[in-house]
Amino acid sequence: MVILSKLKIPEPIIWWLSFVPAAVLAAIIAPAILMPESSLSISFANSYLVAAVPAFGVAIKTRSLVWTLLAGMAVMALVQV
């Protein structure tokens, strides 16, 4: 870390590294949504996927973590009933 702090990192590498957090988050979330019971489940029976689709839409539209979480939780509550 000390060695890297003294190096000048080129802009393309900094730009590329800016995508790492989103990629890591997607790698954590995708299996939980698509494989809730250790097998691929892409159907309306998968409540995680049903809740994730509108939550993703809200995230794209509002770019707000709070509204995204509320939308996902509301849809999940409706699906569970």
Q: How confident is the model at residue 77, as a pLDDT? A: 96
Total count of residues recorded for the chain: 81
Q: How confident is the model at residue 60, as a pLDDT? A: 96
The pLDDT profile of the chain, 81 residues, written as one tens digit per residue, is: 788 788 888 999 999 999 999 999 999 999 999 999 889 999 999 999 999 999 999 999 999 999 999 999 999 999 987
Q: How confident is the model at residue 5, as a pLDDT? A: 81
- Kindly give the residue spans of alpha helices, DSSP state H, lying in 1-81: 2-5, 11-17, 20-34, 47-62, 65-80
And the tokens for 32? Answer: 């939980």
What is the reported pTM?
0.72
And the tokens for 69? Answer: 């979480």
